[in-house]
Structure 1
């Protein structure tokens, strides 16, 4: 079911365009949605691992999306689920610790877990990365980062801590903020906190707020990022007609698109980015004929 990851060569990134030209069915003009690898290239390698980041780089995909949560002893780690059980061997290593939530384990305990065997034998021994390890790999690959603050209600103050890690790693300078970093969340409160702490950071609100609520969202969010299943051309237009906190029109990244027909459909609506587990499928679907 899953292809094996290709070890990337950093030089490949400069040779492959980030933006994919398609034709807007409504206006008859080219639009160029960005391609974002969901949890890294998660159809090629275990999601949210360094291997998935490298797989995306090997495919020439500049943007990677990932999720950040916090351990019992305060370390930020990259993992999607509230529980460790789906994507690690935590049930074998710590059988008495159900329901195996991230917040109940120390960073050292999580570092012991195998986060790759579930995906395939080529990834035995793959680890859950810390946020610091993750951003260093993204930087080393010259990639761009769409960072989701996951379950912020479980982790008071995670917004400030996340920004501190990003700042320590050089990700809050002008070069990163102006084109290589977006922080997103389903929580409007969490996103407001990020915006208040550092108004220069580009932020994205996950979900589909009502059109009437877009002006309020635009006080703290630069992007509106809904599921493709809820999308329409009219909604995309409404988003683009709303001015965000940095004086520019709001943008829209849509998730999670793995089908060529869906990719062509949402691109025709004029979305600014397509988040996908299968960048190769979407790239082919949106290639100029």
Structure 2
């Protein structure tokens, strides 16, 4: 009787302790899992103009090693770091080239884009900031000892861009084992583009942007290491479903959630068990995770 009483008391105490555990988001963050990495979206884009060298410098100054960027191609074949298909929002292209609407990246040469001011739209303090080439961008990341989540933007507009990107990465020393193991992920919304990167250079870690159906995840596992959905489409069950599959490098597929800019959202997706959080406000996310 005494042994049964002790066992019952232990069970009751365990239940009470469980009720007292803090919960963040949908569930308590698993203490055994590492915290999600924080990825500065387009660099520290709430502090400096997105996808520019000052933005990645600011991310480094704030103590964030991971940054995200977007890569497209000029009319004469240069790879440049810019998000939109058009240059209108983030440069003074309308003023310099008023007769060339809609100002698509693919319709301008590298020399023409190099003339554009890509900073004053954000703040006069950044007047004269330029659209960087991918080569310039990679060299700055290397100087800053940063890591890169590289997005192939609009690959359907730029046939063969995957080969070009890999060539630049190789020339800049980013396809050696040290970089491939922990400093580079290539992603796209286009499954075909990601599949092409994997076929060309299987050692590169890859990610698919979006939220494919769970029934289709096994198909992507052949060439994708991560599934990176909008955080609003996520749940703990979906993250678990992704992680139940092993990617092309033998590890469980991961999940980076985008774009989380508030503390509550950061805690919620961390509670789901994501591996990374992509954010315009990395310091807000970092503070939220350190208080979990």
Cα offsets for 1:174-226 (capped at 9, x unmatched):
00000000000000000000000000000000000000110000111000000
Q: 1:215 and 1:92 mapped to 2: Cα distance? A: 49
Residue 145 (structure 2) pairs with residue 145 (structure 1): no
Q: 1:43 and 1:30 mapped to 2: Cα distance? A: 32
1:25 aligns to what SS in structure 2?
Answer: coil
Partner of 2:278: 275
Cα offsets for 1:151-188 (capped at 9, x unmatched):
00000000000000000000000000000000000000
1:93-242 counterparts in 2 under 5 A? 93-242=96-245
Can you give the 5+ residue segments of structure 1 that lack an aligned partner in the other structure? 1-21
Cα offsets for 1:56-95 (capped at 9, x unmatched):
0000000000000000000000000000000000000000
1:288 Cα deviation after fit:
3.7
What's the Cα RMSD here? 1.3
Count of residue pairs the alignment pairs up: 268
Q: 2:265 and 2:283 mapped to 1: Cα distance? A: 14
Residue 81 (structure 2) pairs with residue 78 (structure 1): yes
Superposition TM-score, scaled by structure 1 size: 0.91
Contact in 1 for aligned 2:30/2:271 (Cα 8 Å):
no
Partner of 1:25: 27
Q: 1:27 and 1:255 mapped to 2: Cα distance? A: 18
Larger Rg belongs to: 2
Cα offsets for 1:16-72 (capped at 9, x unmatched):
xxxxxx899357424310000000000000000000000100000000000000000
1:274 aligns to what SS in structure 2?
Answer: strand
Contact in 2 for aligned 1:146/1:183 (Cα 8 Å):
yes
Partner of 2:288: 285
Can you give the 5+ residue segments of structure 2 that lack an aligned partner in the other structure? 1-23
Contact in 1 for aligned 2:25/2:269 (Cα 8 Å):
no
- Stretches of 4+ moved more than 4 A in 1? none
Partner of 1:58: 61
Specify which structure has the higher proportion of helix. Answer: 2
Residue 262 (structure 2) pairs with residue 256 (structure 1): no
Cα offsets for 1:207-263 (capped at 9, x unmatched):
000001100001110000000010000000001111101111000000000011000
